[in-house]
Structure 1
Amino acid sequence: MTPPEPGSRNPTNPSPSISAGGPMPTADRWERQYRGLVDILTDAVFLVSAEAPAGGTILEANAAAAALHGCREGDLVGKLFSRLHGPETEPWISQVRAQGGAQLQTEHLRADGTRRPVQLRATRIPGAGPGQLLVVAHDLTGSLAVEQATREREALLAEVEQLANVGSWDWDALLQKTHWSTQLRSFLDFDPSAPPLSIEQFVEEFVLPDERVEWLKRWHQSLQQPHSISWEGRIRKPSGLIRHVRCRTHSEHTPQGTVRRVMGTVQDITEWKEGERLRLSLEKQIQQALKLDALGSLAGGIAHDFNNILGAIMGNAEVAQMDIPPNHPAAEAVADVIQASKRARELVRRILSFSRQEEGTRSTISIDELLQESIGQLRATIPPEIQIVRELEEGLPPVLGDASQLQQILVNLCSNAVYAMRGRGGRLLFRLRRHVVPPTTQRLPGGLQPGTYLRLTVADTGEGMSPEVLSRVFEPFFSTHPSKEHPGLGLAVAHGVVKGHGGVIEAESEPGRGTSFHAYFPALPVRPSSGAEPPLPRGNGERILVVDDEIPVLESLKRMLLTLGYQPRTETSPEAALRQLTADPRAFEGLIIDLSMPGMSGLELATHLRRLCIPAPVILNTGFLSAEEAEALRSSIMGRVLTKPNTLRELAEALSQVFTP
């Protein structure tokens, strides 16, 4: 390659190596130095004519240029430079000739027809003949491949971060620069064009105040020694939304112990946290269900024995009531015993239903009586600094409902009110009134249909609720209570029960002014009283065999049957009863058999009798009916089942039904 004239300015070797004050190098020596310098360059170097008519002709090219083109040295001389590159090269040469220098990214067309990306840099050489350009071509093949691979890796990393809800950052200690990934900026709602914050700035702007000290402590731990650190915390986004995050850092240090680099990730685990809270809450519910199941089994056994005791008390009291005149001094006391026995019987049934050992049934219920009874039971659990106020309207109609479920509503609403007044006392109001929704009403609470309802209000003077909390108060598992105390199901259950009874429940609250819950239950139409109860159905001397292992129950039933006009006979052993009936199938016109007896159950005895074609109808009498026994009875064809303790009327009506053709 012919060098420029000695003494001219050479862009690739602007300062010839000469001794200060020494002789100028000869032309031959200058050319050797210049050619040696050009030939050792790894970039392709072209000496191109800039004058017409040979404008753009290659005058010289180094070995790297021949390698780039894929030919022998010297083969490039005389070729047009623009034909070896893209069409934009020819105007670019004119630009270089006019401006003295320029750059261009284009493609080089190799001898085999393939193309390679190149970066061209050119300058005009003054004093080098009739206008010459020195062009350096840098092969970009390797650089572009690296850039493409880098972009692909960055795109893959961004996709992985998005799938995992993870954003990453990198801090260079030497340059004191921080880099945030695209996903981190997106998660934080951070301006994509803004420079990333320092760690201290990030903590100040995003981390909740009560956690900032802990975050900075973790950061300083990363600076002190090379290890990985992980912790969880909360951040507040610019929108005010609080998210749970898991942070991890990994630091790199020099052999001297100086921090060189710290990398970290921030992962959004809010949904995972919510799922974990829900899982723990469900586990607690399962544990509670298991406890209730065990309690139900215990309650079932107690109920059986207790109902037998109540049966003896109630049956004997009713017999005594029929044997004494109304003006007898003991008449009032006997009536009180009967009434107390009935209340005790209903209490046992509610305990069984609450423990899920007895399926709830709908019946006509007086809510005012149920409310009075429930308040009495809840009084012991309410702190003395809370005043209970009752406002119950008189003469209210009944409702059709499940007493145990309705009582559960009262318990849940009362529990919520007491918690709202914890540590401060206050006023707990129970109000029950008739509420009529006329057809012309524009706004119906919760979509109530026109009609008559009973409106139950439970109100407190506690701390109240914000509009945001009030809007979610009936959501399952939503609670402002500590999670270990309340799983957030009480009000959701109350909402479901009220809705299941065809009613509506609403809440009103303001911060600092307490909360009121209003539950609406459809009222039953009040039917005119038919007067006194009809007379008891009586027997005509029918022979009745009573089989029960409890002697007090046998004696009570015997007296009741005698009072009703039957001829009772008692037996404590089901096996003895079976032998007696096997010997004389027509010895009795009716059978009353206890369901739960040792050795042989009442159902087994009744099954044996049916196989023997004993004609006498069977009444099964039980103090407690398990789910398995209930299913067995449903699948059998037994005539009647009585639940202990039996009233005189229940017994009389059951016998009348089985003896009526």
Structure 2
Amino acid sequence: MDSHILINLINNAALLLAMCLVYDALSAREEQLKPGIRQILSGTILGTICIAVMLNPLHWQQGIIFDTRSVLLCVAGLFFAPLTAFTTMIIAVAYRIHLGGNGVWMGVAVILASGSIAMIWKSMKKTGLEATSLAELYVLGLIVHLVMLVLMALLPGPIAMQTLGQIGIPILVVYPVATALLGKLMANRRARNQADAALKESEERWQYALEGSGDGVWDHEIQTGKVFYSDQWKRMLGFARSEIAHTPESWKELIHPEDREKVLEELHRHQRGESPEYLAEYRIRCKDNSYKWVLARGKVTARDQHGNALRIVGTHTDITDRRLLEEQLRQAQKMEAVGQLAGGVAHDFNNILTTIIGRTYLLQSKLGDRKDLLVHAEQVTLAAERATALTQGLLSFSREQVLDLRRISLNETVRKASNIFSRLVREDIEISIQLSEENPVICADESQIIQVLMNLVTNARDAIAGPGTIGIITEAVVLDQYLPMTTGGPIPPGSYAALSVTDTGSGMNGETQKRIFEPFYTTKEVGKGTGLGLSVVYGIIERHNGYISVQSDAGKGSTFSVYLTALAEQSEPQPVNEALVIPKGRGTILLAEDENSVRQMLKTILTENGYRVIEAVNGVDAVLRFSENRHAIDLVLLDMIMPRMNGREAREEILKTRRDVKVLFMSGYSGEILGEGSLEQEGVGFIHKPINPREIIRQLQETLPKRNTESS
């Protein structure tokens, strides 16, 4: 075997392998092209490589050359698309015809045979091309080049035999090996491409899942200091892709200063192996300088032989809404606790006021014409009325007050409240009141609406630093379409009575407006506000099925607007001042009250007004006393809250004995214990504590005559 021939064939094979390696490195850019164009382009490049190896052949005789085009065409037919293989074959055939010579037809036949045999082999394969072994590739190369030796018969007779004798063995030594090596390169390339595609698909699914969940991903290579922040991580904070540098410092600068030390310590604890995972909740700054709450989770995925962390991967979850809900829950629980306390204080205080008011009434009835002493009694009554308003405010806050719904004039209610405004505002603040000429009528608890006005005016006063104006306006409004509101849902079409309170104070920004009705939220200095005034307003309007909204700009004042459903009917006539002397009544009353001072005071008032009173100290005692005097008792007066058995339970037991007995409840609490709808049942009335003696006598006289008439 001629070593010169062997060396030339090896050099040509090496050139082919080198050029194919270059092609493999550059072919990644073709992925962006359409499939058909990409296949033709690949065939063109491979055809060009064919030309290159034919330019550096083993020159055997005039017009007869040997090169590794058969190796390339065999591999192209096996690993590339048919269009790519055909393109390569056409280019190779064209160039070989261009070269001409005695071996042109053998050369063309070898080109066509090499590609065709490989494509037939490919069609017969049952496994993936990426799994093709070196042995299989060697066998394929051996077959192709055995065919090549057969095709040497196309050379002129004497030349064919000479060529076969001297070239045959070197070709069978070099070309199958080159086919196996180049084929394995392509098999590995295909396997790598499939792995890359699978990885890309997996990453896309992973990225899609993370995008769908809203989580941002971060990946920190600790040794290099390089950090990867996903697009969602940046979008979560309002940043564009290029606006965050991939460094730890960019993240640290965004952490809220109050949280930074705690967050970094937790991260370092996990990196030192002191915790199973990195877990932290903290505030992080957005592009607009606002802050979001995020939950950061992370885990070290690689450590060196000394246990030092090399890489940590994690996610960021936006938990701002969750934290807000948790804060609202805490505030609601705080409201409930304070409300229960306020309700309890109001209940106890109402019992004390009932005694004060009742005893003052008795004192006034005894003093007669002693005006010098009556004036002192009247002052006590006025102080008790102010204390009553205070307890009503506490009950309103705790939502323990029963709504005394009546048809009232909104204009008249504002007039009544205006008598209080002068004591609420400073002398340098002017109050302007504009009342609607249509005099809108609503169904509401007048004392509660007055409370709303007082709180809104107080809020307006506190917003005005110097001289200013507070405007109060009532209107009759008819909506023919939904009216958007800044708080709650839109107002549906209908007729409404509108009340607005406007001030020329400091105004509020958008963030403050969002939280203005939250309990305990205040922008006032410590000691100058509880944060309860507007939340009480909101609660009262909500209980009246009304709507409230605020419009404000920083430095331009604020306007609070209240909408309540308007009634077509006229308001109820307001009661006139009653005389001190009340007509005597008659009948027997069972009085159940656990507070001794209140019970004794009520017994005295009822007795002096002509009634016979049977006392009971609690609910169980009331049931017993009624059972003993069931036919004599005309009406039962029950305190709602009593030991051993409350008022409702006592009533239920009493009704089992006699269904037609009249019942009046007394309480400073709400109708919750009584049960929704029970006040509307026949024979059931309610008296608010602190009790006004004239009011209780009036209700008794309205209730008892019905029984007396029926029994006569």
TM-score bucket (shorter structure): 0.5 to 0.7
Structure 2 residue 675 is matched with structure 1 residue 631: yes
What pairs up with 1:65-464 in 2 under 5 angstroms?
86-94=85-93, 97=96, 109-110=120-121, 113-114=124-125, 116=129, 137-139=182-184, 140-164=186-210, 165-169=215-219, 199=247, 203=250, 208=254, 234=284, 236=286, 246=296, 263=311, 265=313, 267-270=315-318, 272-303=319-350, 305-317=351-363, 319-320=365-366, 324=368, 328-363=371-406, 364=408, 366-370=413-417, 373=420, 389=429, 391=431, 393=433, 400-402=443-445, 406=449, 409=452, 413=456, 425-426=465-466, 430-435=470-475, 453=497, 455-459=499-503, 461-462=505-506, 464=507
Cα deviation 1:476-508 (Å, max 9, x = unaligned): 7998969x9999998687567547657654534
What pairs up with 1:603-618 in 2 under 5 angstroms?
617-618=661-662
Distance 1:308 1:478 in 2: 31
AA aligned to 1:116 is: L
Instruction: Give the match's secondary structure for 1:138.
Output: helix
Question: Contact (CA 8 Å) 2:365, 2:580: kept in 1 or not?
Answer: no
> Post-superposition shift, 1:113?
1.8
Instruction: Give the match's secondary structure for 1:284.
Output: helix
Question: Structure 1 residues 179 and 282, CA, compared in 2 at 3 Å: closer, same or farther?
Answer: closer
User: Which of 517, 526, 529 is matched with 2:560 structurally?
Assistant: 517
Instruction: Give the match's secondary structure for 2:399.
Output: coil
Question: Contact (CA 8 Å) 1:308, 1:550: kept in 2 or not?
Answer: no
> Post-superposition shift, 1:234?
3.2
Question: Contact (CA 8 Å) 2:12, 2:68: kept in 1 or not?
Answer: no
Distance 2:60 2:600 in 1: 133
**Sequence identity (%):** 16
Stretch of structure 1 that moved more, 343-352 or 606-615: 606-615
Q: CA RMSD in A?
A: 6.6
Question: Structure 1 residues 358 and 612, CA, compared in 2 at 3 Å: closer, same or farther?
Answer: same
Cα deviation 1:25-45 (Å, max 9, x = unaligned): xxxxxxxxxxxxxxxxxxxx9
> Post-superposition shift, 1:316?
1.0
AA aligned to 1:157 is: E
Structure 2 residue 694 is matched with structure 1 residue 648: yes
Distance 2:572 2:680 in 1: 36
> Post-superposition shift, 1:433?
3.7
Question: Structure 1 residues 567 and 292, CA, compared in 2 at 3 Å: closer, same or farther?
Answer: closer
1:507 aligned partner: 550
User: Which of 703, 707, 712 is matched with 1:657 structurally?
Assistant: 703
Distance 2:243 2:343 in 1: 65
Distance 1:218 1:549 in 2: 61
Instruction: Give the match's secondary structure for 1:269.
Output: strand
AA aligned to 2:395 is: L
Stretch of structure 1 that moved more, 274-283 or 105-114: 105-114
> Post-superposition shift, 1:642?
3.8
What pairs up with 1:7-86 in 2 under 5 angstroms?
10-12=11-13, 86=85
Cα deviation 1:429-487 (Å, max 9, x = unaligned): 543344466999xx99997989895644252533x444x548856797998969x9999
Instruction: Give the match's secondary structure for 2:612.
Output: strand
TM-score, structure 2 normalization: 0.58
Instruction: Give the match's secondary structure for 1:360.
Output: coil
Question: Contact (CA 8 Å) 2:513, 2:550: kept in 1 or not?
Answer: no
Distance 1:578 1:196 in 2: 77
User: Which of 602, 606, 612 is matched with 1:568 structurally?
Assistant: 612
Cα deviation 1:210-269 (Å, max 9, x = unaligned): 87x979x979x99xx9989887663545x9897666485969788799x9x965657442
Q: Structure 1 regions of 5+ residues with no counterpart?
A: 15-44, 70-81, 121-127, 380-385
AA aligned to 1:138 is: G
Distance 2:484 2:236 in 1: 44
Cα deviation 1:618-637 (Å, max 9, x = unaligned): 44453445656513966987
Which structure shows the higher helix fraction? 2
> Post-superposition shift, 1:144?
1.9
Instruction: Give the match's secondary structure for 2:86.
Output: coil
Distance 2:668 2:611 in 1: 27
Question: Contact (CA 8 Å) 2:460, 2:470: kept in 1 or not?
Answer: no
Question: Structure 1 residues 387 and 53, CA, compared in 2 at 3 Å: closer, same or farther?
Answer: farther
Distance 2:380 2:373 in 1: 11
Distance 1:141 1:532 in 2: 106
TM-score, structure 1 normalization: 0.61
Distance 1:209 1:608 in 2: 65
Distance 2:379 2:445 in 1: 26
AA aligned to 2:93 is: S
AA aligned to 2:329 is: L
Distance 2:704 2:306 in 1: 100
Question: Contact (CA 8 Å) 1:431, 1:458: kept in 2 or not?
Answer: yes
Question: Contact (CA 8 Å) 1:460, 1:515: kept in 2 or not?
Answer: yes
Instruction: Give the match's secondary structure for 2:217.
Output: strand
Question: Structure 1 residues 476 and 520, CA, compared in 2 at 3 Å: closer, same or farther?
Answer: same
> Post-superposition shift, 1:152?
1.6
Distance 2:226 2:579 in 1: 96
Instruction: Give the match's secondary structure for 2:129.
Output: strand
Distance 1:539 1:2 in 2: 146
What pairs up with 1:539-578 in 2 under 5 angstroms?
539=584, 542=587, 553=598, 556-557=601-602, 560-561=605-606, 564=609, 566=610, 568-569=612-613, 571=615
Stretch of structure 1 that moved more, 541-550 or 486-495: 486-495
Which structure shows the higher strand fraction? 1
Q: Structure 2 regions of 5+ residues with no counterpart?
A: 16-52, 100-110, 141-161
> Post-superposition shift, 1:279?
1.4
Question: Contact (CA 8 Å) 1:243, 1:268: kept in 2 or not?
Answer: no
Question: Structure 1 residues 7 and 511, CA, compared in 2 at 3 Å: closer, same or farther?
Answer: same
Question: Structure 1 residues 4 and 408, CA, compared in 2 at 3 Å: closer, same or farther?
Answer: farther
AA aligned to 1:510 is: D
